[in-house]
Structure 1
Amino acid sequence: MEQYDVAIVGYGPTGATLAHLLGQCGLSVLVLEREGAAYHLPRAVHFDAEVMRVFQWIGIADAMQELTCLHPGMRFVGPDGALLLDWPRPQGTGPQGWRANYRFHQPDLERLLRDAMESRPEVTVRTRCDLFMVEQDDAGVTLRYEDMSRGKVERARARYVVGCDGARSLIRRFIESGMEDYGFHERWLVIDVILNGDKPELGDHSIQYCVPERPSTYVRTPGRRRRWEITVLPDETTAEMTRPEKVWDMLSPWLKPDEAELERAAVYVFHSLVAEDWRKGRLLLAGDACHQTPPFMGQGMCAGVRDVANLYWKLALVCKGAVTGDAAERLLDTYESERKPNAREYIQTAVRLGGLINTCGTEAALRAALPGNRGSAKMESIAPPIGPGLGVGDVAGRLFGQPRLADGRLMDEVYRHRWVVVADAALAAGVELPPGIGLVTTENSADAAEHLERLATRAVLLRPDRHTLGGADTATELAALLERALPDPVKSQEPEMV
């Protein structure tokens, strides 16, 4: 029977990203995917700088950036066309080393992820394989699946299994997790078109049309692709709404049939759900398998990538034997405790925003629904910290920026998957760093001081996922923080397979 460190069920962006990260850490990985090829039509259309930074780690960020388009921001418009709220997105390179937001075509991303996987000998990908049985014991997990290309039942064994298998997750069923329901369940018609020619009057901003009778959303995507999401009323059927004549009727305020080709029209039910249990023993969940969000914040795929960025290095440390026993259990438990509150806050914000869009919210109400805007006329982006877990102190759990070093390289190009201290040079001089921990100071990075200033601290210890373990203002505090650092996932010794 084949044996692996980690088996991943599902080969969408979440599963593929996790496979890349685990492979880079030296783990043997099996990916099982029921479909024979990546889905060819657009689904997710937005990701942010935090996600692009993860793509940087796995080596596809530069190629992906070439396939995206600028995203100037989102506007909320009332029934009379009046602007209710402007939510601009920062342009240019931001603290993460990348633009704040990107519009993209998901098949482009899936192609890059899958092409790059060919250079990962640690990762075995099996498509057209339908998993049907998962049995875990004290030492690992046995999986049974049908290789549908041959009509043959196969078995494999892994130390851990991660379900990246979507909203109808089989792994979630084996975990037997219920779902926390935040009350948003609506049908929307999603229409993707390819323009026959330029139509600049549509604009580059995303627009939320706060029209009580028929709320809708417009999204600019790369090239001549455009998307509309339009509410389906209770008495309207899916068959009726997806007829081409009906679709063009829905698009009539913006487009005529001779101005574009329909690429896809489908009715989706947008949910607001979070799994109660993200882990049961050696089974874990990531992505849509453990949370589903309305699309108004553009955070669906982003949340899945955040999940695996939090999880990969913890699995690597456990599988390599660098963390064992009760300490390993506690480390894996921090995955849910840290990620769940963050995912929940994004979803609850999207629910509030969706409710206001549906009821034609006022400018003041829209601003109040979105935390962190301090009552300004323009919305600010939110970035909630992760929940309690490994971090200590007031600045624990914050996503830290990516300083640029004196030689021009970004920090993660030099210290990928490693623990890093970013500190005031004078403070760092008084502390001896353990072997393997990277160091960025205000002397070898022109912008390190700016990153530290955002957290009002003189030093931070960054985890491999670039969240802060904590901050320090003295050499003594930094030394105490360093005692909490774990080994680097890429440097730990790998034990024999189970």
Structure 2
Amino acid sequence: MLVDVAIVGLGPVGATLAGLLGKLGLSVAVFEREASYYPLPRAVHFDGESMRVFQAIGIADEILPHTLLTPGMKYVNAEGKLLVDWPRSWDVGPQGWHASYRFHQPDLERILSLALPTLPTVQRHYRCDVFSLEESERHVTLRYEDLSCGKLHSLQAKYVVGCDGARSIVRRFIGSEMQDLGLHERWLVFDALLKRPWNVLGDHTVQFCDPSRPTTYVRGVGNRRRWEIMLLPDDDASEIIRPEKIWTLLSRWITPQDADLERGVVYTFHSVLAKQWRKKRLLLAGDSAHQTPPFLGQGLCSGIRDAANLAWKLQAVIRGRLHENLLDTYQAERRPHTAKYIEQAVQMGNLIQAREPEAVAERDKHLSEHPKLMTNLDLRLGRSLLNNGQDGAGQLSRQPLLGSGKLMDDVAGQNFVIISLPGAFHPPSLHELCASLPVTVVSLEADTPQAQAWLEGANAKAAVIRPDRYLMGYVDGPEAVQSLLAPLKALQAVGAVIA
């Protein structure tokens, strides 16, 4: 059996990629060692960009009731003085969604798992362990074991994407080493379920930058609360996860009378980045390509971005629209982008985890006098054939509400988008420029203030937007559109390798 794409790993990133590819009409086989989605909490945050990707799959409205908006994050020192303030707006942001959402990961995985069977080209293989990948000129042969009975099977795929986590077998077959970005610390992650009203720490996420015991508090959805507690060098990981020890560590805030322990587990927070994300027909996404400390809440978000970046490119190559060299832009764009998030997370982690007296005193003196105000990062993709970094290229586009009352992405689907000011271009001329690409042209009417304000603020008559909703660039006329699309035309001219 031959499928377009095989995905190893059915966590949130693998399921998101499968959903995007299924929506694009590609045949997909997903392999997961476990019998179902993981039932305990892990990631607790995603952002408006992630919600926009879920919107593309068609599950955003189902996810929304299972999320929580919070007022933001505060960093305080041992005396409770504010060091860093990171407020979050209650208003819908430029992505058409809020900037930040709390969630319970099993809820997200359940919704994704229910969505995939509705896509006729996506097949799921639970309790199946991939143990071998053999590349040939035109496909990869996957060999896997059905763990329910021990039977061995094989399947062929044009491309294989490893979404199989820190110990990725796909990364092993690529032969990629990991770049160490400098943070590796053990933390106890403790999840609690309230059983009576309790609001000692409020709704903010709080980073307690206390050198005696750095600690994080997270307000979760519903009655869920989380603490993350840094282990000290002499701590015994097997001892600290005992319930009585956990409650001792939290006694100034909460007791067993207030909540039940759902789980306590020790993780080592890593900051690493795979050096090679692609080898011919093998690719990496999510934790198999990068691991981010949780201090910015961007680990899962980065994996969701990987899926969005990769899905449309795989479809363009497999369907024969663009040459396979397009896939070289995946690592070129995503790796530097992810590295910046990891580096920022490491910086914030070092601020939280500081324990040397001189460093703590210097930090507290500087920041308590002048607390830092943080804002959401707005980073460009790395440079690639598609992104020269000019005229907005590589920035995440906005998603305005259109005159029809619909959000732009709901009108555009997973196509390229050209959105222009009223009367700026004649639509047929744009269609002629883009005849060989799946493009939605949105010519704004007078009743679209959000979109007009966005384009006018960028001093542009139009924006050309990729299917992953990153900008090809801003333009002021049809000739500029043609110039922006030249790299895609070049990839068409080279010819496609796979039909």
State TM-score, norm by structure 2. Answer: 0.92
Q: CA separation of 1:315/1:364 partners in 2, compared to 1, >3 Å: closer, same or farther?
A: farther
In 1, Cα distance between the equivalents of 2:123 and 2:165? 20
Counterpart in 2 of 1:355? Answer: 350
- Which moved further from structure 2: 420-429 or 29-38? 420-429
Matched residue type, 1:322:
R
8 A contact 2:82–2:371 mirrored in 1? no
| Residues 215-364 of structure 1: pairs in structure 2 closer than 5 A | 215-323=214-322, 327-329=323-325, 331-359=326-354, 360=360, 362=363
Q: Does 1:470 align with 2:478?
A: no
Matches of 2:115 and 2:497, distance apart in 1: 24
Partner of 1:396: 393
Residues 427 and 475, structure 1, Cα contact 8 Å, conserved in 2: no
Q: Distance in 2 between matches of 1:166 and 1:100?
A: 26
Mapped contact 2:296–2:345 kept (Cα < 8 A): yes
Equivalent positions of 1:95-494 (< 5 A) are 95-323=94-322, 327-329=323-325, 331-359=326-354, 360=360, 362=363, 378-389=373-384, 390-392=386-388, 393-429=390-426, 432-434=429-431, 435=435, 436-443=438-445, 445-485=448-488
Letter in 2 for 1:328: E
Any conservation in 1 of the 2:177–2:275 contact (CA below 8 Å)? yes
Structure 1 counterpart SS, 2:449: coil
Displacement of 1:229 after TM fit?
A: 0.3
Relative to structure 1, the CA distance from residue 283 to residue 429 in structure 2 (aligned partners, 3 Å threshold; closer, same or farther) is same
Question: Percent sequence identity over matched residues?
Answer: 50
Offset of residue 388 of structure 1: 0.9
Change (3 A) 1:425 1:480: farther
| Alignment partners' CA distance in 2, 1:347 and 1:256 | 34
Which whole-Å deviations, capped at 9, do the CAs of 1:361-405 have from their partners, x for residues lacking one?
Answer: 7379669xxxxxxx9952111121110121242311000011111
The runs of 5 or more residues in structure 1 that have no matched partner are 368-374, 488-492
Q: Conserved in 2, the CA contact under 8 Å of 1:440 and 1:448?
A: no
Answer whether contact 2:74 2:207 (CA < 8 A) is retained.
yes
Q: Distance in 2 between matches of 1:430 and 1:12?
A: 41
Q: Which residue of 1 aligns with 2:22?
A: 23
For the residue of structure 1 that corresponds to 2:264, the secondary structure is strand
Distance 1:185 1:495 in 2: 42
Cα distance in structure 1, aligned partners of 2:63 and 2:261: 25
**1:85 maps to which residue?**
84
CA contact (8 A) 1:95 1:451 kept: no
In structure 1, what residue type is equivalent to 2:387?
G
Distance 2:207 2:458 in 1: 33
Q: 1:475 to 1:433 in 2, by over 3 A?
A: closer
**Partners of 2:26 and 2:271 in 1: CA distance:** 34
Q: Is this contact kept in 2: 1:441–1:448, CA < 8 A?
A: no
Q: Distance in 2 between matches of 1:476 and 1:69?
A: 45
- Number of equivalences: 480
Task: State the shift of 1:90 in Å.
Answer: 1.7
How far is 1:155 from its partner?
Answer: 0.4
Q: Deviations over 1:196-219 (max 9, x none)?
A: 112122211000001112111000
Tell me the amino acid that sits aligned with residue 80 of structure 2: G
The one-character-per-residue Cα deviations of 1:140-165 (angstroms, maximum 9, x if unpaired) are: 10010001112100000000000000
Question: Offset at 1:53?
Answer: 0.3
1:273-307 deviations in whole A, cap 9, x for unaligned?
A: 00000000100000000000110000111110000
1:7 aligns with 2:10: no
Residues 1:68 and 2:67 are matched in the alignment: yes
Separation in 2, partners of 1:254, 1:237? 23
Question: What CA distance in whole angstroms lies between the structure 2 residues aligned with 1:164 and 1:472?
Answer: 36
Q: Give the drift of 1:485.
A: 4.8
CA–CA distance in structure 1, aligned partners of residues 159 and 130 of structure 2: 15
Which runs of no fewer than 5 residues in structure 2 stay unpaired? 355-359, 491-495
For the residue of structure 2 that corresponds to 1:333, the secondary structure is helix
Q: State the 1:474 CA deviation.
A: 3.6
Show the counterpart of 1:370: none
What is the aligned-residue RMSD (CA, Å)?
2.1
> 1:209 aligns to what SS in structure 2?
strand
The one-letter code sitting in structure 2 at the alignment partner of 1:471 is Y
With normalisation by structure 1, the TM-score equals 0.92
* Alignment deviations for residues 417-443 of structure 1 (CA, whole Å, 9 cap, x no partner): 111112222432387112452223442
